[in-house]
Structure 1
Amino acid sequence: MNDVVISCRNLTKQFSQGDLAVPVLKGVNLDLIKGEMLAIVGSSGSGKSTLLHVLGGLDAPSSGDIRILGQNIAQISEEQRCRLRNGSLGFIYQFHHLLPEFSALENVAMPLLIRRLPNQEAYDRAADMLKLVGLSHRLTHTPGELSGGERQRAAVARALVTQPACILADEPTGNLDRKTAEHVFDLMLELNHKINASLIVVTHDTRLANRAQRIQQLIDGVLCDISDAS
């Protein structure tokens, strides 16, 4: 199954509250195919963000296996996991998390600079990506000088600048008004098709979720197809 970008089997995650173990994920199974867009929906507090963080290697599961491009992330070093995340995954959050003291160009170039690309190449690629998201006129502006929609478009550019195999988006339009949210989502879909990256989107917005190729719902710690989630 060479087309599988991210897969997990029997994934569990629990947190401790005093002496209590609180289960959040209870045996999640998932295969995400190259180029596929999957929307994950669920009630507030159902563990959607936790699932995304665990799939992206930002948090460790309590048990189960996760593979990114065939690599079991539990069987590689932390340094190798960081390289795998930086090279293969892009992250978009509800809040843009741009560094306020840096320009849009510098923020978008950051993942490439962390990868130790030559500065000029990193900035050239960042400028090209900002042009794709319609921000070529805002390269030198800091986040405080951008509108909410522009900040989120810059965050999309930063997630895609490494040409990742998969984009993990956690409520990427949740902090935007409806019109701007639809514009940003359109942009994500367009760029997703251009680079043939897989896309997992956690969202409360059913209108946006319905534009995905596949929708799954997290119910009681288990990921279900919508048709099974009755």
Structure 2
Amino acid sequence: MNSQISQPVIACQNLYKTYQGLDVSVLNGIDLSVNTGEQVAIVGASGSGKSTLLHLLGGLDIPSSGDVQILDQNLAKLSEAKKGDLRNQCLGFVYQFHHLLPEFTALENVAMPLLIRRIGREQALTTASEMLEKVGLKHRLEHMPGELSGGERQRAALARAMVTSPQCILADEPTGNLDRHTAHAVFDLLLEMNQTQHVSLVVVTHDLELAAKMQRRYKLIDGQLVTL
């Protein structure tokens, strides 16, 4: 693992983002590098730009200026199709809302990213089943999202993010809709996956107690990252 540390999984340099109609930059010259297996927490006030930064790092939005690299590939130089392929191969996303498809079972939801990769259905379902077992949902494979608790839905969403063996998970308020006990359980599961799968974590959260569990912590203030 140490031999891989030298290459950042995700990096950005001098990143700016301004939305039309706003007089100030939401992000104002962000520099950040995330190496293999690192844990990075980003906190900040509502509207400070935390989610915007995460979307830029994941190639889901385009910066006003500055560069984002995923495994040394500059996103600005890639077509939308190539960016989509890179996201599917290298990144996993977890959001405040689980975004599970209600008409599919937990197993089918988790298998979906593999099916998008054109992996055979049987293999995709087997891999998805194994990942659901790792997050403690072996007994919920055939349940629909509406039949799962809030914590179970987030575990399923985490399994879906992890099923492709990504090199980095980008999580946007992944425990924001959960009660305190469940939030800590889901967050600890994220950290466990970080350790066992050597996946990097970049987590946006408003919860300072949860952020304190991470190796590196930043606060987004006036469009700048300040080390905590």
Could you state the TM-score of these two structures normalised by the residue count of structure 2? 0.96
Distance 2:194 2:121 in 1: 26
Shift of 1:21: 4.4
Hey, what does 1:215 align to over in structure 2?
A: 217
Tell me the residue number matched to 1:83. Answer: 85
For 1:69 and 1:120, the matched residues in 2 are separated by: 30
Higher strand share: 1
For 1:62 and 1:6, locate their aligned partners in 2 and report how far apart those are by CA, in whole Å: 18
1:187 is matched with which residue? 189
Q: 1:13 aligns with which of 7, 17, 21?
A: 17
- Residue in 2 aligned with 1:151? 153
Report the residue type matching 2:9 in the other structure.
V
1:1-230 alignment runs, 5 A limit: 2-17=6-21, 20-226=22-228
Shift of 1:113: 0.5
Task: State the identity %.
Answer: 63
Structure 1: which 5+ residue stretches go unaligned?
none
1:15-72 deviations in Å (ceiling 9; x for gaps): 112xx44420111000101100000011111000000001100011111010001100
Q: 1:41 to 1:154 in 2, by over 3 A?
A: same
Does structure 2 retain, via aligned residues, the 8 Å contact 1:16–1:22? no
The aligned amino acid for 2:39 is M
Q: How many matched pairs?
A: 224
One-letter amino acid matched to 1:5: V
**Structure 2 residue ranges without an equivalent (≥5):** none
**Following TM superposition, by how much is the alpha carbon of 1:3 offset from its aligned partner in structure 2, in angstroms?**
2.6
TM-score normalized with structure 1 length: 0.95
SS of structure 2 residue aligned to 1:79:
helix
